[in-house]
A and B are shown apart, each in its own frame.
Chain A
Amino acid sequence: MRDSVNGNLAQLRQIAVIGSETMAIRTDSDIVQARHLVRRWSNQIQLSLIDQTKLVTASSELARNAMIYGIRDGFTTGSGLGLGLGGAKRLVDEFYIDSKVGEGTRVTVYKWKQ
């Protein structure tokens, strides 16, 4: 299911996938690592400094959300520890959320290079 959604999006937009990386988010130091990972990739594709900062910050929000709640459906701000998904959404160009009962939730964000 996941691959088919990814495949469709890629086909639709003709995205050139230059690489991928996966990491688990369990602790708050994983959030730091997630920021580093996204920073490294944003740097590699030469996003502008401001867009890098926005994307890294959005990733930080998403990673924290994943750590604290598991990603929840909808735009909860939870216990007020973060701006949650809504904050991340404001920092990217496109934001998709896809929940399946019993499977989990996937959030996909896009930041287009200017």
Chain B
Amino acid sequence: MDRIPILKLGNFLLVTIQVDMYDQLAITLQDDLTSKIVQAGAKGVLIDISSLEVVDSFMGRMLANISEMTRVLDANTVVVGMRPAVAITLVELGLSLPGVQTALSVDKGMALLNAMREERPSEGLRERKPGAA
């Protein structure tokens, strides 16, 4: 079965999607990523979608799911490199991905992951929203 490679880079996992996404591949990526976060104790996931010419609602939802799952697993996800035409299409489609952090480039995405990590120390009990009861 096809798989999208997941690279470990320090505390972070790096995923570069360079093939046409079909549904099963997206589901496999979601499963692989969640196991790998736990296994590697990763604190962040960076997903580069700059090669993707199309992100439809299935793929969009998968990105949202991955973001949500990594958050539950005490890590952050940043999606980088979305093409402008893809962004316009996603919003018109009705999928603005409210829970998904994005950055324009891999560099900026890495900086964002580092910044989020500092804001969110892993020790102690945390609420999802700081200050919430």
The answer, yes or no, to whether B116 is at the interface (CB within 8 Å) is no
Q: At the interface, is chain A mostly helix, strand, loop or mixed?
A: helix
B53: A residues at CB distance < 8 A: 39, 53, 56
Interface residues of B (CB under 8 A from A): 20-24, 53-58, 61, 83-86, 88-89, 92-95
Q: How far is the CB of A83 from chain B (nearest CB, A)?
A: 4
Query: A-side interface residues toward B, CB under 8 Å?
Result: 28-29, 31-32, 35, 39, 49-50, 52-54, 56-57, 60-61, 64, 80-83, 86-87, 90-91
Total residue contacts A-B, CB cutoff 8 A: 67
Given A31-B22, A31-B23: A57 and B54 within 8 A (CB)?
yes
Partner of B58, one of A49, A50, A52, A82: A82
Given A50-B85, A53-B85, A64:B92 Cβ within 8 A:
no
B23 touches A90 (CB 8 A): no
User: Max chain B CB contacts within 10 Å: which of A54, A57, A87?
Assistant: A57
Cα distance A50–B53 when bound, in Å?
A: 10
Bound-complex Cα distance A22 to B81 (A):
34
Candidates B23, B57, B86; contact of A28 at CB < 8 Å: B23
B87 to nearest A CB, angstroms? 10
When distances are taken between beta carbons in the complex, the residues of chain B under 8 Å from A64 are 23, 56, 58
Kindly list chain B residues whose C-beta atoms are within 8 Å of the C-beta of A39: 53
The answer to whether A53 and B54 have CB atoms under 8 Å apart is yes
A83 touches B86 (CB 8 A): no
Min distance, Cβ B89 to any Cβ of chain A, angstroms = 5
CB neighbours (8 Å) of A60 from chain B are 54, 56, 58
Among B84, B86, B93, B95, chain A packs the most CB atoms within 10 A around the CB of B93
- In the complex, the answer to whether A57 meets B56 with C-beta atoms within 8 Å is yes
